[in-house]
Amino acid sequence: MPVFSTKFGLSSLQPHQIWRCKLRVLDLRNTGQDFWNMWSGDMDHVPSSSLMAPVAEDMSRTKHPLTPLVIYIELCLKTKTSIKFLTYLLRWVEQRKASMHLCCKKIKIISRSRENIKKILSMVKLNCVQEVELSLTQKVSTLAKFASLLGKMRNVQRLLLSQIHGSVTEEQDHQALLQFTSQILRLQYLRDLRMAGPSFLEGRLNQILRCLKTSLYNISITNCLLTESDLTHLSQCWNICQLKGLNLNGVTLTNFRAELLQVLLEKVAGTLEELDLNLCGIMDFHLMAILPVLSSCSQLRVLSLCGNLISMTVLESLLRHTDGLSALSLELYPAPRESYSSLGILHQERLAQLKAELWEILTDLGCPRKIWVSPSPCPHCGEDMCYHLSPNA
């Protein structure tokens, strides 16, 4: 495969020539989603921004002219084509290991081909990896296959588990999770833990939390079922004492005792910057219980409560309780419950009236402030209707 040589003119260099080459750093990270098409010779779909992106650094003035060439790359193990190319690249570098080093700080695994993945990872210096994403769309038992590899990535700071399914009753899944979490003990620098749609997590959150050895800056548990016991364990976990981001988007809390969420927020009130409780089934009594602690979250910058049934009265209370939070710059709230009929149909005229009332409340409070009120659960993506309210608009 001549791709590497045709794009960078390096393959033809002899080892002693590479030592004299002015190029010392080749950065292939964040080069755009069409980067692999460009490498395969397809230039039709490459944006001009990708062609102009500075991906190499001239280190010709370095005091150490014999420093090996360092190649930075992000691995995305997804398609057979990408795996084939990465296999070639890794072997190419291995043959020139005296004159160049490969540094991979981010690995994203989507492929289901476990053998190919293991083959590639065996050629990577795993202690250089800082970010890992596993999106296997398979059972939790698959996690056990990668447990030993994860344990070798001791410098990982961010771990994302996505679309991994399992049963809370199957013994096989239980043992696989034990094997996987035992390797989390080795991650001495983990700061960001994200689990998207983990069906295996219900009633087992503590099994993961007790393996953490560091204080987390961010924890995201989304689109899954948790028990009250899970939320209790989370609030009692010492690892969240420095938490900046808490995301429980899509975790149903409707039947949970309100004080559980209150205790959790009290634990992180001093450091919390982003709180996402979208689509959590939060009711008025939940929100009323956490209003006092929300008003003490002095570092809070982002608050999102979309997709919950909240009354106009409680929304007004929320605006007043959070009025003193000077860092708060992004507020995303649901359309008031009174905007809907008993059948859940949105009434535009009623919503317009309630918007006017909210605008009056913001005007009365006086401080410059923006809020987004939307019947859509995801105002970030711009779908459906989203209403921007500001007394200064």
Same-domain check for residues 92 and 228: no
Same-domain check for residues 265 and 376: yes
Same-domain check for residues 9 and 44: yes
Same-domain check for residues 178 and 227: yes
Per-residue confidence (pLDDT) for residue 305, from 0 to 100: 96
> CATH number, domain at 343?
3.80.10
Average pLDDT of the residues in 343-369: 89
Q: What is the chain's mean pLDDT, rounded?
A: 81
Interval 321-343: pLDDT, tens: 999 999 999 999 999 999 999 88
Per-residue confidence (pLDDT) for residue 333, from 0 to 100: 94
Same-domain check for residues 259 and 391: yes
Same-domain check for residues 218 and 294: no
Per-residue confidence (pLDDT) for residue 51, from 0 to 100: 35
- Residue 122 domain-assigned (yes or no): no
Same-domain check for residues 282 and 359: yes
- Residue 116 domain-assigned (yes or no): no
Per-residue confidence (pLDDT) for residue 208, from 0 to 100: 93
d(CA 312, CA 228): 28
pLDDT at 310 over 90: yes
Same-domain check for residues 262 and 237: no
Same-domain check for residues 293 and 370: yes
- Top pLDDT among 193 and 141 is at 193
Q: List the domain range (segments joined by +) for residue 82.
A: 1-105
- Residue 274 domain-assigned (yes or no): yes
List 219's β-bridge partners, or say none: 193, 246
Interval 30-76: pLDDT, tens: 655 444 444 443 434 444 343 333 444 444 444 555 577 888 888 88
Per-residue confidence (pLDDT) for residue 344, from 0 to 100: 85
Same-domain check for residues 257 and 379: yes
Query: What domain count does the chain have?
Result: 3
d(CA 97, CA 54): 24
Per-residue confidence (pLDDT) for residue 118, from 0 to 100: 78
Q: In degrees, to the nearest 5, what angle opens at C-alpha 168 toward C-alphas 215 and 307?
A: 65
Same-domain check for residues 71 and 145: no
pTM comes to: 0.81
Out of 188, 220, 243, pick the residue that ends a domain: 243
Residue 336 DSSP one-character state: P
Residue pair 114/143 in contact by the 8 Å Cβ criterion = no
- Residue 125 domain-assigned (yes or no): no
- Top pLDDT among 211 and 18 is at 211
- Residue 110 domain-assigned (yes or no): no
- Of 29-33, 89-93, 278-282, the range with the lowest mean pLDDT is 29-33
- Top pLDDT among 88 and 54 is at 88
Out of 243, 264, 290, pick the residue that ends a domain: 243
pLDDT at 247 over 90: yes
- Residue 118 domain-assigned (yes or no): no
Residue pair 189/159 in contact by the 8 Å Cβ criterion = no
- C-alpha closest to that of 75 among 8, 150, 131: 131
Chain position carrying tokens 């008003």: 295
Residue pair 65/18 in contact by the 8 Å Cβ criterion = no
- Residue 111 domain-assigned (yes or no): no
Same-domain check for residues 174 and 272: no
- Residue 113 domain-assigned (yes or no): no
